[in-house]
Amino acid sequence: MEYKDRLYVALFGAFATLVKKTPLPIQEAITKALASLAYLLDSKHKKVAMSNIQATLKLPKKEAKRLTKQVYHNLAFLLKDFVLNQNTTKEAILAKVDFKGEEILHKALQSGKPILFMGSHYGNWELIPLALAAKFDLPISVVGKPLPSKAMDEILRANREQFDIELIKKRRAMRKIFHAISKGRAIGILVDQHTTDREGIEVEFLGLPAMHTPVLSLLSRRYEAPIIPIFITTEDHRHYTIHFHQPIQPLRTSDEKSDIRQLTQAQADVLAKMVQNRPQEWFWLHKRWKKAIQYD
């Protein structure tokens, strides 16, 4: 194991021990302290967040700084809950989650079409697949990119693959996605990361051009299946609400390129509304607008 991997594992293990061995008030105090420390030390990603927020939300520097601190706060509590969800039970997951709009999922299940979930790095996104699998006994395949640290990626994978959840690596994923669909598995993709020109489609997102993955659009058109946007919010980082939004209906005209572009823009529009409504819960630390923002 490389030095960095050993360091990451040691730091994660220390935090996990503190979380698991202390009562809730102390857990929360430790998590807030971790968030403040990360904000102070992580100048690289802090600058990215500030640039993103000021360019899109047009906030003054003072407000952008306050929002950036909230983003670190949200991420620290996501990490705390991630620790608590290791080797968990379905009952423990469902005890802290409510669902809104679940009739949308029931209708999709009754249709016989593949279930396509559109997610993002928003709120406690790691909890969504676990909650879906626990509540609906739904086999899910989630497409994602492995972490740079192999050791930490193994920890992440072990946590994510509970309750018949499958991880599909983003690289060359389509064949595995088709296979998962053929087995009746739902597909979940986080759509808010920058893609290369070769992989993505340019859309407007929060008023600026951004590259966006078209994978869900391609699947929706191929299978004539709706895309179900799904997000998770919280008021206290103790209890969470998962929201099923109205599906993005499939398009299948003679103009495939136009269909894909419209479906992809529709996904960006749904996410933009969520971010504008509760910007503190979105992952602003990513270089999302490489075509429009000059990052240092």
Query: SS in 3 state form for 85-103?
Result: CCCCCHHHHHCCEEEECHH
> In the structure encoding, which two tokens stand for residue 34, read together?
């971790």
151-177 confidence digits (pLDDT tens): 888 888 888 888 989 999 888 899 999
The whole model's pTM is what? 0.93
Cα four-point dihedral sign 208, 263, 202, 195? positive
247-276 confidence digits (pLDDT tens): 999 999 999 999 999 999 999 999 999 999
> In the structure encoding, which two tokens stand for residue 243, read together?
């929201």
pLDDT at 152: 81
Residue with tokens 């819960």: 281
Residue 290: CB atoms within 10 A of its CB come to: 14
Q: Which amino acid is at 187?
A: I
User: What is the fold, at CATH topology level, of the domain defined by 3-281?
Assistant: Glycerol-3-phosphate (1)-acyltransferase (3.40.1130)
Cα four-point dihedral sign 152, 153, 156, 157? negative
Q: What angle do the packed helices 24-41 and 3-21 form, to 10 degrees?
A: 150
Cα–Cα distance, 251 to 256 (Å, whole number): 9
Cα–Cα distance, 119 to 116 (Å, whole number): 10
Q: HSE on the CB side for 111, CA within 13 Å?
A: 17
Query: For the chain, how big is the Rg over CA atoms in Å?
Result: 19
Q: Is 195 helix (H, G, I), strand (E, B) or coil?
A: coil
Residues of the chain with pLDDT > 70, as a percent, come to 99
Asked whether the predicted pLDDT for residue 1 surpasses 70, the reply is no
Cα–Cα distance, 286 to 190 (Å, whole number): 13
pLDDT at 204: 97
Maximum Cα–Cα distance for the chain, whole Å?
60
pLDDT at 30: 93
Q: Is the CB of residue 288 less than 8 Å from the CB of residue 210?
A: yes
CA-CA-CA-CA dihedral for 16, 17, 23, 25, to nearest 10: -50
Asked whether the predicted pLDDT for residue 32 surpasses 70, the reply is yes
Q: What is the mean pLDDT of the chain?
A: 94
